[in-house]
Every structure is written in C-alpha cells, then in structure tokens.
Amino acid sequence: MSRIKARPIILERVRQIVWETNLSYRELARLLGVSSGGMVSGWVNDDKTISVEALTRLCELRGINPAWVMGLSEKKYLK
C-alpha cells in the first residue's frame, strides 16, 4: 500500500474534507475501509500518513478533486 508523505497543504485539505463529512472518525473509517477511527484521527492529527487508496476513497466519497487535495489545482469539486 502506497503512502503519501503529508505536505502542509495535503494535511490541511484532508482535515477539511474529514471535518466536512460530519461523520465520526469510526463511521468514516468504516466507509473508507480502513482499520479504525484511530486511523482517521491519526490523519487529522498528523500522527499517521494516509494511503493513496484511502485518499482516493475519501475524495470519491465527497466528490473532491484529488489534484485539489495535493495543491495542484484550485478546482475543489469534480463536478
């Protein structure tokens, strides 16, 4: 499983997406297929790195442009 080294922009945008879901970390972890709410909490607190697969699922869940998360585009939403 590939991991993405967090750059400040990625960390900030992953946090923003997680908070915008209005789901508990446990609920979001279940939807994303990750081991626990602690994993999601780790992304938000910069204690754990997010996998490429989890980031892709997070973006798909919210309709977010992955290039926006990585700071490569100003277009946040895919539609």
| 8 Å CB contact between 52 and 4 | yes
Looking at residue 59, what is its pLDDT? 97
Query: Which of 22, 21, 12, 30 lies closest to 71, judged by CA?
Result: 12
Q: What is the average pLDDT score of the chain?
A: 91
- Residue 65 to residues 38, 42, 45, 57, Cα–Cα distance (Å): 25, 22, 22, 11
- pLDDT tens readout for residues 12-45: 999 999 999 999 999 999 999 998 999 999 999 9
CATH of the domain at 58: 1.10.260.40
| 8 Å CB contact between 10 and 71 | yes
Is residue 61 domain-resident? yes
Confidence (pTM): 0.85
Is residue 33 domain-resident? yes
Total of domains in the chain: 1
What is the domain range of residue 57? 8-68
- pLDDT tens readout for residues 37-72: 999 999 999 899 899 999 999 999 999 999 999 999
